[in-house]
Structure 1
């Protein structure tokens, strides 16, 4: 069990960092296109992108688009 834990933590942090970078660049792209939707770079988005990966980032944007409807 302890042998698997470091691999899981590394995987989580890699997904979280890549997810946060994706959120940053998608926010910039949407801002450039003058679309008023942005996901905050905070602890919740870090945990969601770390736990769910790219689908989690899509989920965050889906929630934000749903809120403006």
Structure 2
């Protein structure tokens, strides 16, 4: 099990170094990602509040996975999260 953890740590370090190199050249990507993540998280918060006030239990949790999804995919990713949550309730 230690060999697997070491391999995962090495792979994660390599990916992190590659991402830093790519993002250094593209600062607007980072700014765009952060803005989408913040706006998507705020939208999820308000949509969750609206759904709860209407008596619907389709609210998604706000956690790092949902923030990353809304940051990478934007509003379509947020809609996808609500769709997945609705599908699991059926």
In which range does the TM-score fall when normalised by the shorter chain?
over 0.9
**Runs of 4 or more above 2 Å deviation:** none
Gaps of 5+ in 2: 1-21
Tell me the number of residue pairs that the alignment of Structure 1 and Structure 2 aligns. 68
TM superposition score normalised by structure 1: 0.93
Whole-angstrom CA distance in 2 between matches of 1:37 and 1:58? 12
**Greater gyration radius:** 2
RMSD: 1.0
Higher normalized contact order (CA 8 Å, seq sep 6+, divided by chain length): 1
Gaps of 5+ in 1: none
Q: Over residues 5-51 of structure 1, what are the superposed CA-to-partner deviations in whole Å (9 max), with x where a residue is unaligned?
A: x1100000000000000100000000000001111110000100000
